[in-house]
Structure 1
Amino acid sequence: MQTYPPVRQPGLVHVWLLAVAIIGVIFLFVQHWALPIHLALLASWFLVMGLGRWLGLDYASMQKGITTGIHHGMDAVLVLIAVGALIGTWMVGGIVPNIIYYGLSVMSPDWFLPGAFVICAITSLATGTSFGTIGTAGIAMMGIGAGFGIPLPIVAGAAICGAYVGDKLSPLSDTTVMTASLCEVGLVDHIKSMLTVSAPALLITFLLFLFAGWHYQGAGELNQAQQAMAVLEGSFSIGWVMLVPALVVVGLLAMRYPSVPVICLGALLGVVWAILFQQQPLVEAISSLYGGNRVEEGLGLLSSLLNRGGMASMFEVIILVLLALGLGGLMEVTGVLGTIANRLQRWAHTPGRLGVSTLFAGFLGNFLGGAAYVSLITASTITRTNYEAMGIDRRVLSRNTEAGGTITTPMVPWSDGGVFMAGTLGVATMTYLPYLWYHFLVLALSVIYGFAGIAMWRTTETGGRTPSLD
């Protein structure tokens, strides 16, 4: 990340005061005044710029920092636009309603939560995108869960947990590839290293959702699911051919075609399906790319789940992501992140502390930078020197970087992942947060491994090269 050092570097006291001020502004705007968090982030820009001016940094350099920070998240913005269009046409075209219908017909309330976790995990592993998984399979799981009468926050938790399995482990995931590249680790070695933590986390998460499903089995009455199926049959054409666009998108993404054009193709197939099978007029079907679906108020809870999508629905998310990325760029250019890095490097003098510092640096990137792309950069660069000094293999760095950067993204309400998950699923971040069991387990196991010396490989004696895991 390009930097423009100020005349003076901020001290740790300045960083703490700035953090307290930003948190105070967010609380005042969001909790007390009930204003959009966008305004709180914009106000935080001026707090950081005030610190920058006091340190002797000119405005031109700070503006360059803002644009540089935003540049790092533009890939996410393109995906958001494409996914918005896809959700809109798949609602109008009946693809998502059909997935909900067949899900209700084959699933049972007892096994629904672990099933939702597994389905979203498989989808994300095959496609490499958490956003695409939530925008398709995730929304379908919400509809099925609503049909069974299961509380939507825990359904959202199961879907998001599954979606981030692939975002973290799939060789098709941009964050997985980016982390391996930043840490200079082979992609296969990086994935194998992550599996040492992710495999037990996957198993425990499945069992937790299995037990939770048994707890909620009384809430899921089959007649409620049958009523939802009847409503869907009366509102959409039902048939297995309706699932073809979903199979095409998943197949192309699994074949490593670029995500944005593939998702756009899926959106166009939704338009075609809306015209051919849902008898939608041409103009209205095309309009759903931008405006999404607008169903009648006769579907009960399904109305709120199906009445969404379109590029316009992502504008609020995109603005928030841009503001958060700009704030992260300001943090970088004013030296705030550099000060934090220096302090973490001095504190992390044991392998256990080193792991904690990497996880914290990744979370900080999401908290201050608002995107996984920023968090992966902060986690890998802030703590990398200490790994080399202690002779700890870069595979451990890449594993902890992915955990601290990717996994914590949906936990921050104003990050790109947090905003997308909440907006797409219709469940607030703080509501689904307690059910992100896979995320908490990955973080906890990463810390335990560091202090217990589990899978904390050392570099070889010849130049510190990373040995293969084969």
Structure 2
Amino acid sequence: MKSEKALRLPNRGEILFALIGFGAVMFIFIVLFELPIHLALLVSWFLIIAVGLKIGYRYKQMQDGLLRGIYDGLEAVLILITVGALIGTWIAGGIVPSIIYYGMSIIDPSILLLAAFFICTVTSIVTGTSFGSAGTAGIAMMAIGASFGFPPPLVAGAVISGCYVGDKLSPISDTTVMTASLAKVDIIEHIKSMLRVSIPAWVIAGALFLIVGFFYQGSGDLSAATSIMASLKEHFNIAWYMLLPAVVVVVMLAMKMPSIPVIMFGALLGSIWAFIFQGVPFLGAINIMYAGSEITSGIAFIDELLNRGGIVFMLDVIALIILALGVGGLMAKIGIIRAVGDFLARWAINPGRLTTSTVISGFMGNVFGAAYVSLITATKVTEDNYDRMKIDRRVLSRNTEAGGTVTTPLVPWSDGGVFMTAALGVPTLSYLPFVWFNLLVVLITLIYGYTNTFIWRTEEAKDEKPIENVVSGN
């Protein structure tokens, strides 16, 4: 029997069979038959297993890889569980309804998109979590946008764009810390490098949201906002002290306390607020962390928006992420990801191609796994090329976040794509054209690569001088 060390990498035909087969399965199940993505991913497991058996792997070896892939993404699953509990109790406790109510009172429709982008930016930078920001401030912005007559995908684009500013830049964001660690870069230097891309992307995205907001000014029926505010006032105790749990959670996260226990503590505060201020029975308030919030306001939009949350609300999302992580684990185990990486290493002979290879590697991690997987694939597949070409690893870490972190919500079955769809109620492919910050980060990153802009040599790292003529020829 062949030992695992003697097993070869899949050849080009086997790689194409696996990748094209994966795409075909996704298209047939989701587009043609309109079946759940879960089933498509499960069938993809066995498609990849078939390729592995042909190479010579035993099923037990591939199962180990599958489980390893799932294990690598379990932190995201834990965050989803706590965020689900948080969403449910913050709705029932009047925290999210109060944010919606006050937001409608002070935000002018003409700047709604810019406000959503800015508020979610600040929230995500301070808290370091895109999921938590979208599940709280994001839900509130969706409600305000709908009341002003804005298309939900457009508002979702502004919300998600803002949420991923902090996910990418906050020093307390897990992806920021993880990327700096994987690339072996000081976290502050990593953030400073990313600012070269993020600042112009943020400014351009903000200008676009402002311009489009003016375009939609007056298009909404403001009487709907009045009706929603009256309904919120009728069903919830709306007051400034409803916002205290949000302030507490933001401060704790800003103090760099661990996100999972902090978010869970925030969920507990939401249950306490539901019991004390909203008249929910004590055991019912505690159960909301699991079962989610339920209200009947008589306004379909409010009921749809606020009847959500709880651990149960996230179970479908968690199952999908586990299946997607399994695909990534299998791909890694039988060598498909490594083989693609070897090809990219041979192809990446200049800074532009090197940047492109890192972005592609990160995106592949999201397609076959989740955000954490994308950061691993982007760094490990391409890091040797940066060293060989004497390009500073700050460029590697910056490019990794461009290919991995910000593309996560653009993949329908990734953890980010699934969560944003569940939390905001907008399908990934609907909001994708409007996630302008994320798309601009990728575009500007590629432009920098091909124009040798902010591409630093290792020996010039302290001077931050652009690299010139790293290689000759093509």
Bin the TM-score by the shorter chain.
Answer: over 0.9
The alpha carbon displacement at 1:406 in A equals 0.3
Distance across 1 between alignment mates of 2:149 and 2:276: 32
Task: Give 1:160-179 correspondences, 5 Å limit.
Answer: 160-179=160-179
Q: Secondary structure at the match of 2:405?
A: helix
**Structure 2 residue 394 is the aligned partner of structure 1 residue 399:** no
Distance across 1 between alignment mates of 2:56 and 2:238: 65
Deviations 1:393-419 (A, max 9, x none): 101011000110101000000000000
| Other-structure match for 1:349 | 349
> Can you give the 5+ residue segments of structure 1 that lack an aligned partner in the other structure?
none
Task: Letter of the 1:368 partner, please give it.
Answer: F
Q: CA RMSD in A?
A: 1.4
Indicate the percent of aligned positions where both proteins have the same amino acid: 55
Distance across 2 between alignment mates of 1:149 and 1:228: 12
Distance across 2 between alignment mates of 1:171 and 1:156: 25
| Other-structure match for 2:427 | 428
| Other-structure match for 1:236 | 236
Distance across 1 between alignment mates of 2:293 and 2:120: 23
Deviations 1:114-157 (A, max 9, x none): 00000000000001000010111111111111121211111111
Deviations 1:55-109 (A, max 9, x none): 0011111111011111111110110000000111111111100000000000010
Q: Secondary structure at the match of 1:256?
A: coil
| Other-structure match for 1:262 | 262
| Other-structure match for 2:143 | 143
Does the aligned pair in 2 maintain the 1:317–1:420 contact within 8 Å?
Answer: yes
> Can you give the 5+ residue segments of structure 2 that lack an aligned partner in the other structure?
466-474
| Other-structure match for 1:438 | 437
Does the aligned pair in 2 maintain the 1:119–1:162 contact within 8 Å?
Answer: yes
Distance across 2 between alignment mates of 1:317 and 1:295: 22
| Other-structure match for 1:306 | 306
Runs of 4+ aligned residues of structure 1 deviating over 6 Å after TM superposition are none
Distance across 2 between alignment mates of 1:229 and 1:297: 11
The alpha carbon displacement at 1:468 in A equals 8.0
Distance across 2 between alignment mates of 1:304 and 1:212: 26
Q: Secondary structure at the match of 2:271?
A: helix
Task: Letter of the 2:108 partner, please give it.
Answer: S
Task: Give 1:199-210 correspondences, 5 Å limit.
Answer: 199-210=199-210
Does the aligned pair in 2 maintain the 1:6–1:56 contact within 8 Å?
Answer: no
| Other-structure match for 1:415 | 414
The alpha carbon displacement at 1:283 in A equals 2.1
Give the TM-score normalised by the residue count of structure 1. Answer: 0.96
Distance across 1 between alignment mates of 2:87 and 2:412: 21
| Other-structure match for 1:377 | 376
Task: Letter of the 1:380 partner, please give it.
Answer: T
The alpha carbon displacement at 1:223 in A equals 2.5
Distance across 1 between alignment mates of 2:389 and 2:148: 52
| Other-structure match for 1:36 | 36
Deviations 1:360-389 (A, max 9, x none): 0000110112x1110001000111111111
Distance across 2 between alignment mates of 1:363 and 1:237: 44
| Other-structure match for 1:213 | 213
| Other-structure match for 1:60 | 60
The alpha carbon displacement at 1:27 in A equals 1.0
Distance across 2 between alignment mates of 1:403 and 1:129: 17
Distance across 2 between alignment mates of 1:276 and 1:385: 57
Does the aligned pair in 1 maintain the 2:231–2:297 contact within 8 Å?
Answer: no
Task: Give 1:271-310 correspondences, 5 Å limit.
Answer: 271-296=271-296, 298-310=298-310
| Other-structure match for 2:318 | 318
Distance across 2 between alignment mates of 1:404 and 1:390: 20
Give the TM-score normalised by the residue count of structure 2. Answer: 0.96
Task: Letter of the 2:65 partner, please give it.
Answer: G
Q: Secondary structure at the match of 2:368?
A: helix
The alpha carbon displacement at 1:344 in A equals 0.2
Q: 1:5 to 1:97 in 2, by over 3 A?
A: farther
Task: Letter of the 2:407 partner, please give it.
Answer: T
Does the aligned pair in 2 maintain the 1:4–1:334 contact within 8 Å?
Answer: no
Does the aligned pair in 2 maintain the 1:183–1:398 contact within 8 Å?
Answer: yes
| Other-structure match for 1:123 | 123
| Other-structure match for 2:82 | 82
The alpha carbon displacement at 1:286 in A equals 1.4
Distance across 2 between alignment mates of 1:284 and 1:467: 58
Q: Secondary structure at the match of 2:444?
A: helix
Distance across 2 between alignment mates of 1:37 and 1:225: 35
The alpha carbon displacement at 1:221 in A equals 3.4
